[in-house]
Structure 1
Amino acid sequence: MELTAEIAAYRDGTGDPGRLVGEFRRAVLLVPLADGVAGAAGGLMSAVSGGIRWFYAFTDEEALARFAQARGEDGREWPYLAVLGARLVDAVVPQVDGPAGVAVNVADGDGSMLFPPVTSIVPDGCAVDTVGAEADAGMVA
């Protein structure tokens, strides 16, 4: 099953957290670059909310376009990298000074999903929880 279908299943209560995280890790995600955004100094586009840096990631160009439109910035070019979800959490998140997670398809309301900095999603050294949490403990729908 693809990531968007796993997100939908999880959100309607029929999904499996382990399958969702596995599909996220296997998915090729489009991660916009911060270059060209007012006040950004390059790198991957992200935002800080609740003390967590959230990297924006999208399952396809249409989801990225909806994000651009929601920001009122659909008239400009949106350069992005195609990155495996596993690479984002295993290689990018550890480079961040502080907790970081991934926000997938954030402009899609019911189709969005946050993958927070918790055990079973990010490397243990980057997780904000400390005692064997299940993969779904910190997921926010």
Structure 2
Amino acid sequence: MFVAATLYTPFARAELALEFVGVTAGKGQVMVSIWGSKDTYFKQAAWRAVYPVPPVLALDGRFSITITEPLPPELAVSVFYDANANNTLDTHWFGLPAEAVGSSNNVQGRFGPPAFKDAKVAYSGAPQSLVIHLNKLLSD
């Protein structure tokens, strides 16, 4: 006897477009992490990828990516602009990022990343887009 079963997965598959503002054409890369819960926030990403900044950007310095992987129904996005492409978030001697950072809802933390509850967005699985502004926390 053959029995078909459907496994429940909490992740929805659709298109999530992320638009990044605040990068320099042809310089460096953006490192994107998607977090699926408060418990895994900045511990274990649900999804992570690196995207080189294209040599030509839109007039206002934007570029976009589209994620088509299954994603959690509530998620937070964190991004940093790795301008020197060394695969590391460079920091000042006191620990604050020296490179531009951003998150979903464009929230910033005070002495660390923003709280998951502030950065989280609902993801229904329908096509959705987010604009993320990348900003340096301190000027050079």
- Report TM bin, short chain: under 0.3
Larger-gyration structure (1/2):
2
Give TM-score scaled by structure 2 length: 0.26
Higher relative contact order (CA 8 A, sep 6+): 2
Give TM-score scaled by structure 1 length: 0.26
**Larger proportion of helix:** 1
